[in-house]
Structure 1
Amino acid sequence: FNLLRRHIDALGARWGIISETAFREGLRGLLEGEFGFRVEKWARYDDKGFVFGYPSNVDIDVAIKDGRVVLIEIKSHAYREDVYYFRRKCEFYKIVEGKVPARLIIVTPYADEGALEVAKQLGIEVYTKV
């Protein structure tokens, strides 16, 4: 039974990555086409380890309109630590770009209770179904 469960979990993880990409492109089309936002993937190298505690690449989806910046994280599943990492990514963006985002948004079909609690404490909007 455990082996079957691991296989199902692995398939779900792969589907999650594919779904994130498809959803990201759909969101881009909507925000750009209907609302006039410019949407881009922002990526920088964090050589000091500010976000994850060690040097790494950091990326985040950014929607911009009339100088207003909205930072967006799309996840197939959001856990408490994902919310903390998103917040660190947003702080890193602020440091590098010198711009304060107007909104911080996580879009996910599933967010566990811990993620929702932390997001509320940090002022991050979570759009989820489950």
Structure 2
Amino acid sequence: MNRRFEEVDKRFEALISEMNRRFEEVDKRFEEMDKRFEAILEQIREIRVELAGLGGRLGRGFEDLVRQTLKAVVGAEVKEVKRLIMWDEKGEVYGHPENVEFDAYASNNEKFLIEVKSSANKGDVLIFNKKAEWAEKTLGKTRKILIAAYVEDAAYRECIQLGITVISRNIVPQEKEEDTLRL
């Protein structure tokens, strides 16, 4: 009987020894993963610093671009171009209280609200116009300008109706009706 207990004890000791060895391996793996994770976090911090610097340079470049565009296309000289954020406490624009943001705001004798898009569709135009009309309650009369690389034809026509100045390289023709699936 004692011999059996001794054999069972040996097996348990062997199992415990094996489990301890495996736990040590897992601990080593976790330590290695922690080191890799810390290295990745450090890289993310470095990227954030670089992006912040780049964002500042791009912001100044954007400001200059808008300033030059206003002068060339609209004939208006402005000293300062800033991003504009206004608080809509009553939720008139989005249906609930929210910040209303404009890509650029500039003023001299005139006030300019500027929306910048890579491409603009009719929905973009309607939202920009709604935001601008709301902002005019505080700012007074503004000149609305849409700057976009591409503007859909329907969006361009909507801009004309709403009195929004469009600065764009391309007005994209509307799709043919036969290419459209309506449900």
What is the alpha-carbon root mean square deviation over aligned residues? Answer: 2.2
Residues 1-130 of structure 1 aligned to structure 2 (within 5 Å): 22=58, 25-30=60-65, 31=67, 35-60=77-102, 61-65=104-108, 67-97=109-139, 99-101=140-142, 103-130=143-170
Could you tell me how far apart the structure 1 residues matched to 2:151 and 2:95 are? Answer: 24
Amino acid at match of 2:106: A
Q: Under a length normalisation based on structure 2, what TM-score does the superposition of the two structures give?
A: 0.51
- Across the two proteins, how many residue pairs are aligned to each other? 105
Give the share of equivalent positions with the same residue, in percent.
Answer: 30
Could you tell me how far apart the structure 2 residues matched to 1:113 and 1:53 are? Answer: 28
Could you tell me how far apart the structure 2 residues matched to 1:106 and 1:36 are? Answer: 17
Could you tell me how far apart the structure 2 residues matched to 1:110 and 1:25 are? Answer: 23
Could you tell me how far apart the structure 1 residues matched to 2:106 and 2:127 are? Answer: 19
What's the secondary structure of 1:76's corresponding residue? strand
Q: If each structure's helix is expressed as a fraction of its own residues, which one has the higher value?
A: 2
Conserved 8 A contact 1:40-1:62? yes
Alpha-carbon shift at residue 27 of structure 1 (Å): 4.2
1:25/1:81 CA distance change after superposition, 3 Å: farther
The structure whose Rg is larger is 2
- Larger RCO (alpha carbons 8 Å, 6+ apart): 1
Could you tell me how far apart the structure 1 residues matched to 2:134 and 2:123 are? Answer: 16
Residue deviations 1:71-127 (CA, integer Å, cap 9, x gap): 111011111011111111111211123x211x2100000111111111011011111
Amino acid at match of 1:48: K
Conserved 8 A contact 1:52-1:85? no
Q: Under a length normalisation based on structure 1, what TM-score does the superposition of the two structures give?
A: 0.70
Could you tell me how far apart the structure 1 residues matched to 2:146 and 2:96 are? Answer: 23
Amino acid at match of 1:107: I
What's the secondary structure of 1:91's corresponding residue? helix
What's the secondary structure of 2:158's corresponding residue? helix
What's the secondary structure of 1:77's corresponding residue? strand
